Chains A and B, each alone.
Chain A
Amino acid sequence: MKPSTLSLLRRADLLVIAAVFLVLGGVLTIQRTTDFVIFCIFVLAYDLLYGYMGRLSFGHMLYLGVGAYAAALSAEHLSGNPLVALLAALLCGALVGLVLGPIIVRTTGACFALINLAFNQVGFFMAVTALSDWTGGEDGMSAFYDPVLGFDFGDPWVVFGFSLICLLAVVYLMKRLIASPFGVLLRSIKENETRVQFLGYDTFRYKLVAFVISTAVAAFAGGLTIINYVFVTPSFIDPGRNVEVIFACLIGGAANIYGALTGGVVFMIISNYLPNYIERWEMFLGLVLLVLVFRFRAGLWRYLAALVARSGAKEVVS
């Protein structure tokens, strides 16, 4: 590819992303592709924390689950409007982030990962046992949404289009956020927090803001998932599933928006179709994770980008 085509592609990235998902939607079933789109939003939320701020959370399913239950409960008790459900999911995610954040954000490294995991465990318990009158416990609950402005959210294509627009919005906002001084500060915190403090920044506040953004967007993804599935079960808040999003981040390459999207799609393809062919699928996942950690840390996206850049350079030379 020529460098000029590359820069054109980069400028029209939102269109390219939309096109890729539309093609996927044509090839696979539409509901599954919607799932892919929503998972990508979740991976983006996670990547802000892990990739850019350098904090590995081992309990992000909690925030996805909070959003999922908030969306389902809003359909039951507030209104059938899916937009209200999403707003409820977003606000609940932000609220949980604000309450837990001051405890979680003060820690780093292993503590950060494990405290998230512990809170995830508590959340799972609340959903399954403590609040089972509200959440339906193990059985979960259904959630039905009314049409909005003539768009029927029972139609998979409407949900797909809506999710895709949400994903594009999240990608756009994330890009703006990363490029902003706030984004630079987050990356500086990842590199060396003490130095950022020396520069006079109250890093706690910035970390908290990033954490709340991440939890809110993750909860938003959870809300969208419920609109797609029309039911919620404890599996959406299951701490055992945390490895999925970490895995997706690593496959695609952390700290890169396109990497997160690539990782999200590749992971979803693997997890949706591989179990049909390989029985020992957990073992496969574990082995791939090991290879990723030891040999392939830059991730798929950077690998592909380097490949394309090299071939482009060759063309220019010839």
Chain B
Amino acid sequence: MISTLAYGLTIGGILYIISIGLTLTFGTMRIVNFAHALVYTVGAYVVMTVTARIWDNFVFAGLVAVAVAVPLSYLIERFVIRRLYGQSIDYAIIATYAVLLVGVDVVKWLWGATPMPLSDPLNGAFVVLGGVELPLYRILVIAVALVVFAALEVFFRRTMVGKIVVAGLENKEAVRSLGINVDRFFTIVFLIGSALAALGGVLYAPITSIHPYMGFQVLLLCFAVVLVGGMGSIRGSFVAAFVLGLVIAVTGRFWGPAAETMVFVVMAAVLIFKPIEA
């Protein structure tokens, strides 16, 4: 049971890291960003390519992947998302989905469609906890998620940029009336969110196999996290991600194929009692 819980927390940590970008873009710009899954997929592919071709160092490769994600997401923001501000939410969904389709096809073009594995960067090292062997890598993922959470808390409560963004989440017009160009700050937030999505891809790559469509499945789970946590709520997605991660792990222990579907059942249950007006 301990290993199940640990696995759930690992999945939860990764879901949290990926969901931040989604919940921020939704909270600030009212845009549902399917292209987020593309950044995640590219992150996983870059880490695989760098470890295989350039330098077999996972941390270095991960940093490269995150660095690649920033210009990529800037292009997406500049040419697609910025043109959709304040418009009907449907067009944003369709346009970002189109970006995802194009991007996934480019990924297939560059790397091929066959799933590829990535070996455990720690060579299967494990720690013993309560008499159970747990892969050290998965424990580290949980730690990274907690670090990200703490860093974001500091960012949003202590720095000026963070405070402006939080204020913008609450009331965009009021912030704008103070003479602050909110959209520029939202762009920064978007880039941070995308970098974290790439980080999520990097962290998840050794646990799962890498394939062009890996983004779709994770994106659905992350939408569930965002909806359960409350759209635009940073702490809400933190709690929701770990709860849903545990749901996946515990369900998976009893009935493997149902693991991810159970998330949507929980999501539906939450929405019945707490419908979201968005």
Contacts and interface: CB of A to CB of B under 8 A. Distances in A.
Main secondary structure of the interface of B (DSSP, over half): helix
Contacts of B26: 110
A303 to B, nearest CB: 18
B98 interface: yes
A107 B101 contact: no
Nearest to A250: B94
Q: How large is the interface on B (under 10, 10 to 19, 20 to 34, 35 or more residues)?
A: 35 or more
A122 B267 CA distance: 11
Contact of A121 (B93, B105, B261): B261
B101 A108 contact: no
A282 B105 contact: yes
Nearest to A132: B257
A286 B220 contact: no
Interface in A102-126: 103, 106-111, 113-115, 117-119, 121-122, 125
Interface string A277-318: 000101101110110111001000000000000000000000
A57 to B, nearest CB: 10
Nearest to A293: B95
A122 B265 CA distance: 8
Contacts, number: 112
B91 interface: yes
Given A103-B268, A106-B275, A109-B89, A114 B257 contact: no
B160 interface: no
A266 B257 CA distance: 37
A118 B224 contact: yes
A56 B90 contact: yes
Interface residues of A, number: 38
B150 interface: no
Interface string B237-278: 000000000000000000001101100110110011001111
B102 A118 contact: no
A289 to B, nearest CB: 4
Given A130-B258, A285-B98, 4 more contacts: A114-B227, A280-B105, A282-B105, A286-B105
Interface of B: 26, 30, 32, 80, 83, 89-91, 93-95, 97-106, 109, 216, 220, 223-224, 227, 231, 257-258, 260-261, 264-265, 267-268, 271-272, 275-278
Interface of A: 50, 54, 56, 58, 103, 106-111, 113-115, 117-119, 121-122, 125, 129-130, 240, 243, 246, 250, 280, 282-283, 285-287, 289-290, 292-294, 297
